[in-house]
């Protein structure tokens, strides 16, 4: 098997496990010794139907999905979910709470305003989203409370999920960048969603888990593809699905299960992030812009304490095979995304590089 010489710290599309990559390369040429590429195979064929079933079962197993919930595989990314959620769940007169904790939350808010009323229950916008607000002003009539569990750009993460004020309401979570990174109590949620390309696979496929009883409550005429009930009925095979992307998700989840599942993965993630945050704190050159208690285990932004040449540090890293560490333009500095597939050796290589840089520049 290939051994890669680089570590990919991109926020997304993000690092994939090496075994997953070589399994996928094989399936791209000859799927299960059928002589066909998986990309040439009908989504109505038995092997592809089983692939969908097996992947769905893996999700149910890994996340302990309670009965009454459906796992769906859709296209359009998390961005389409920003619109599909209010389209399916809010009528024109309804209201929903949204916590504004970053650019992605903000985009979700923008879409939901097209279908109903939005109450922004909390916001950390004025401090450039560097913390998770702990208090909220929810509307007692709200259908749901939408949160972004991990803020990919700013590097903040909910450590505990907020309570919903309306006893008939439910949580909705954009979990694009921390799905499968830790255990999850789905019973608080009416719906969660995640684009695959951060923590579970390549772009082109989006996972939605939805509780059936929240659907069918409004009488808007919804286009078929955008109607969750259609995908439930068709078991995510309403039209031609992204089979190859799903295969990569399948291999990733199989690998996660072999590692011991999300509980074990959380331990590893805490350890990995711990090494990096400790170095950011220790190193005289760098600092974290994020309130400590809200620091993400997945996306770790850090900046120079004093104005220095950021490009110089980035090329210092690249020479050592540490790629895509440039921070998002709205935060600046650097960002290391250390998703499930980032090995601890990658994090240690970054820590060592920060130490060496301090020796030269400090």
Ligand X SMILES: *Cc1c(COP(=O)(O)O)cnc(C)c1O
Q: Give the number of other Cβ atoms within 10 Å of residue 237's Cβ.
A: 15
Say whether residue 195 binds ligand X (CB under 6 A): yes
d(CA 253, CA 94): 37
Binding range to ligand X, per CB under 6 A, among 71-79, 162-170, 251-259, 331-339: 71-79
Determine contact, residues 40/27, Cβ cutoff 8 Å.
no
A 10 A CB-CB count for 327 gives 20
Q: What are the tokens at 29? A: 């040429």
Give CA angle at 302 (299, 307), nearest 5°: 155
> Residue 108 CB, nearest distance to ligand X (Å)?
8
Scanning residues 142 to 171, which ones bind ligand X (CB under 6 A)? 148, 152
For the bound state, the minimum distance from the C-beta of residue 217 to ligand X, rounded and expressed in Å, comes to: 25
Residue (12 or 333) nearer to ligand X, CB: 12
- Specify the pairing of strand 189-195 against strand 206-211: antiparallel
Is there binding between residue 12 and ligand X (CB under 6 A)?
Answer: yes
Question: Which of 23, 97, 100, 174 is an active site residue?
Answer: 174
335 binds ligand X (CB under 6 A): no
Stretch that binds ligand X, among 13-21, 73-81, 181-189, 266-274 (CB under 6 A): 73-81
Among 17, 123, 177, 199, binds ligand X (CB under 6 A): 177
Looking at beta carbons, which residue is closest to ligand X?
Answer: 77
Task: Find the catalytic residue in 198, 227, 272, 326.
Answer: 198
Provide the token pair at 128.
């450039």
Residue among 65, 78, 246, 280 that touches ligand X (CB under 6 A)? 78
Shortest gap between Cβ of 351 and ligand X (angstroms)?
24
> Which one, 197 or 353, has the nearer CB to ligand X?
197
CA angle 219, 83, 9 (to 5 degrees): 155
Instruction: Judge whether 178 counts as a catalytic residue.
Output: no
Rounded to a whole number of angstroms, the minimum distance from the CB of residue 78 to ligand X is 3
Q: Which span (17-25, 163-171, 172-180, 234-242) binds ligand X, by CB under 6 A?
A: 172-180
Closest separation in Å from C-beta 195 to ligand X: 3
Long-range CB contacts (within 8 A, 24+) of 266-274: 266/181, 266/182, 266/183, 266/297, 268/340, 268/344, 269/181, 269/182, 269/297, 269/298, 269/338, 269/340, 270/297, 271/344, 272/297, 272/338, 272/342, 272/344, 272/347, 273/297, 273/298, 273/300, 273/338
Judge whether 110 counts as a catalytic residue: no
Answer for which of 111, 174, 279, 294 binds ligand X (CB under 6 A) is 174
Lookup: tokens for 49:
């139907």
104 part of the interface to ligand X, by CB under 6 A:
yes
CA end-to-end distance (rounded Å), the chain: 40
79 binds ligand X (CB under 6 A): yes
Three-point CA angle 152, 155, 159, nearest 5°: 100
Is 104 one of the catalytic residues?
A: yes
Q: HSE (CB half, 13 Å, CA atoms) of 13?
A: 8
**Residue with token string 């650019």:** 103
> According to the binding rule CB under 6 A, does residue 176 interact with ligand X?
yes
340 touches ligand X by CB under 6 A: no
77: contact with ligand X by CB under 6 A: yes
Residue 33 burial (C-beta neighbours within 10 Å; 0-12, 13-18, 19+): exposed
Determine the interface stretch with ligand X among 74-82, 242-250, 279-287, 337-345 (rule: CB under 6 A): 74-82
Site residues for ligand X per CB under 6 A: 12, 77-79, 104, 148, 152, 174, 176-177, 195, 198
Catalytically annotated residues: 104, 174, 198
């Amino acid at each position: 098997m290939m051994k890669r010489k680089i570590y990919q710290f991109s926020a997304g599309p993000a690092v994939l496990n090496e075994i997953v990559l070589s399994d996928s390369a094989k399936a791209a040429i000859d799927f299960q010794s059928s002589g066909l590429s998986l990309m040439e195979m009908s989504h109505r064929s038995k092997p592809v139907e089983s692939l969908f079933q097996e992947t769905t079962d893996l999700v149910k197993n890994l996340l302990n999905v309670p009965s009454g919930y459906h796992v769906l595989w859709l296209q359009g990314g998390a961005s389409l979910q920003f619109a599909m959620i209010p389209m399916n769940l809010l009528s024109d007169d309804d209201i929903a709470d949204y916590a504004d904790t970053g650019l992605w939350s903000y985009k979700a808010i923008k879409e939901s305003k097209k279908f109903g009323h939005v109450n922004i229950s909390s916001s950390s916008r004025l401090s450039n989203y560097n913390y998770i607000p702990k208090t909220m002003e929810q509307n007692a009539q709200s259908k749901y409370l939408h949160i972004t569990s991990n803020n990919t750009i700013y590097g903040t993460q909910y450590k505990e999920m907020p309570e919903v004020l309306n006893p008939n309401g439910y949580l909705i979570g954009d979990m694009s960048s921390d799905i499968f990174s830790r255990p999850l109590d789905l019973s608080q949620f009416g719906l969660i969603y995640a684009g695959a390309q951060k923590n579970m696979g390549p772009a082109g496929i989006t996972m939605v888990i939805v509780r059936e009883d929240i659907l069918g409550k409004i009488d808007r005429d919804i286009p078929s593809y955008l109607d969750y009930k259609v995908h439930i009925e068709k078991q995510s095979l309403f039209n031609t699905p992204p089979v190859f992307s799903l295969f990569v998700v399948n291999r990733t989840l199989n690998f996660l299960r072999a590692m011991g599942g999300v509980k074990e993965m959380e331990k590893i993630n805490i350890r990995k992030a711990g090494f990096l945050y400790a170095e950011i704190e220790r190193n005289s050159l760098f600092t974290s812009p994020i309130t400590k208690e809200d620091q993400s285990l997945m996306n770790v932004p850090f900046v120079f304490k004093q104005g220095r040449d950021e490009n110089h540090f980035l090329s210092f890293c690249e020479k050592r095979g540490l790629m895509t560490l440039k921070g998002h333009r709205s935060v600046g500095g650097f960002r290391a995304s250390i998703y499930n597939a980032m090995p601890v050796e990658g994090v240690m290589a970054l820590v060592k590089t920060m130490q060496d840089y301090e020796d030269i520049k400090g």
